[in-house]
Chains A and B, each alone.
Chain A
Amino acid sequence: QKEVEQDPGPLSVPEGAIVSLNCTYSNSAFQYFMWYRQYSRKGPELLMYTYSSGNKEDGRFTAQVDKSSKYISLFIRDSQPSDSATYLCAVASGGYNKLIFGAGTRLAVHP
């Protein structure tokens, strides 16, 4: 079993839709949860960073962590064609600085 599971998609949505991206993880020791966005031929860029459970909002992006079910989500409101990218979830436990990534979900937002 992989430590982090993420549906690779692809996910295709019309402009303006609400997008929901999800990951599950297996180890309850993980305390740090991140979402990265990666455009084609570029390195990943950090979108959202959450410690422990709860919600975090930044503009059109909302990250949710449910530690009881080991489930993390990223919601994108009013999606734009510029949001078309691969979205990677990542988790980490304290003290090691080693990120464990999901496989990434490829998102396409069409006009």
Chain B
Amino acid sequence: EAGVTQSPTHLIKTRGQQATLRCSPISGHTSVYWYQQALGLGLQFLLWYDEGEERNRGNFPPRFSGRQFPNYSSELNVNALELEDSALYLCASSSGTSGGAGTDTQYFGPGTRLTVL
């Protein structure tokens, strides 16, 4: 069974540009999560999508946005890039069977390393 896949592996942008990162969840999973892993800051929760809807959002500015498509894949967009946006962006998926009543096991992809120059 294929795991969570992310593309691209690496992305280099300049300050002020926009970045688009993509994630395909494990087959059968309906929930997708985005995390940022910046040097010195650890893994921080960004966004949670389930059944096409944004369910929860971390403490990030609105220029971080995303969406989930009908096939449950997801896209993270970062507008007006800043130098401190340089990080590893991780996507995770879960089955969503708990319906928000508990915590479904999250399986992570390999990440997209975004470098902002």
B108 touches A92 (CB 8 A): no
B56 proximity list for chain A (CB < 8 A): 96-98
B90 beta carbon closer than 8 Å to chain A = yes
CA distance A100 to B42 in the complex (A): 10
B102 beta carbon closer than 8 Å to chain A = yes
B100 touches A101 (CB 8 A): no
A97 touches B31 (CB 8 A): yes
B44 beta carbon closer than 8 Å to chain A = yes
For B88-100 the 0/1 string (1 means CB < 8 A from A) is: 0010101000101
B58 proximity list for chain A (CB < 8 A): 98
* Interface size in chain A (residues, C-beta < 8 A): 23
B108 touches A49 (CB 8 A): no
Closest to A92 in B: B103
A99 beta carbon closer than 8 Å to chain B = yes
Please give the residue numbers on chain B whose beta carbons come within 8 Å of chain A beta carbons, in ascending order: 4, 31, 33, 35, 42-45, 48, 50, 55-56, 58, 90, 92, 94, 98, 100-111
